[in-house]
Every structure is written in C-alpha cells, then in structure tokens.
Amino acid sequence: MPTCRHCYGTYNRDQFIHGNGPKAQVCVRCGVEKGLVAKEEVASLYDRSTANARFSALARRWSPLMWLSVIWIAWILYIKDVDPWGLYTLILLAVFTLLVPVYMFFFSSKHMAVMARLTPEYERPKGH
C-alpha cells in the first residue's frame, strides 16, 4: 500500500489524490489541508460525522474482546483468590471466552454492512 509524502500514513489507493508533481503520493486529508485540492473534489474524504460513525462502528465491533481481556486480567489479579466467587467467575469467563468469537462471527456481516453504508462512493480514475 502506498505511503503519503506529507504525513507518512499508509492507506489504500482510493485514499490518495490523483495527479503528477505536487499531487503525487498525497493522501486526501493532506491534499485538502495543504490546499492541493478542494474538499468537493475528493469523494473519499470522510467528514467529521462519517469519521466518528466509522470509529463508533469499529469500537462496537471490537469492544467485546477488550472487555473480555480486561475481565480476565481482573480475575487473574484479584478475583481468583476469593472463595467461592473465583470459581464462579472462572466458569463464566470460560463460557464468555467461547461465546464471544461465535458472536463476532455471526455479526460480522452486520458490521460489514454498516461499514459499507458509511463508506462514500468512489470511482477510480483511469490508470489507477
């Protein structure tokens, strides 16, 4: 994947402005910030609301794994020595550890649909 000359970010090809000279290898965000293109000319630039919605969708997608890891760490550090709650919590954690990947698998198509809805339409210019 190409890298932007200004911010050194690595993005897909559709996140770059097209052209030669100063426009070559510049991402759409840097192109708009540096005044190389107008905001209306780049279809793949996400406005603040779309960027926030995409971030929220990603957070909802991966939060079960984050919470599971936080609770496992809490169990290892604090809860395992408390009788009988250490055993009860271990059983619940084991069940949730097995169910979370299945849950994520079943709802992966919903996540892809949300991300597709939040992705602006983009047509590649010829030669790219």
Please, which residues bridge with residue 27 across strands? Answer: 16
Q: Measure the CA–CA gap between 50 and 114, rounded to whole angstroms.
A: 11
Q: What is the pLDDT of residues 16-44, one digit of tens each?
A: 888 888 888 999 889 999 999 888 888 77
Summarize the confidence of residues 112-116 as an average pLDDT: 93
The pLDDT value recorded for residue 120 is: 72
- pLDDT at 108 exceeding the cut of 90: yes
Q: What is the pLDDT of residues 48-76, one digit of tens each?
A: 898 899 999 999 999 999 999 999 999 99
Q: Measure the CA–CA gap between 74 and 80, rounded to whole angstroms.
A: 9
Neighbours of 65 (CB within 10 A): 13
For the CA atoms of 92, 67, 64, 81, the dihedral, rounded to the nearest 10 degrees, stands at -10
C-alpha triplet 50, 61, 53: angle, nearest 5°: 10
The pLDDT value recorded for residue 123 is: 63
Name the residue among 27, 55, 17, 45 with its Cα closest to residue 120: 45
Is residue 127 very low, low, confident or very high in pLDDT (cuts 50, 70, 90)?
Answer: low
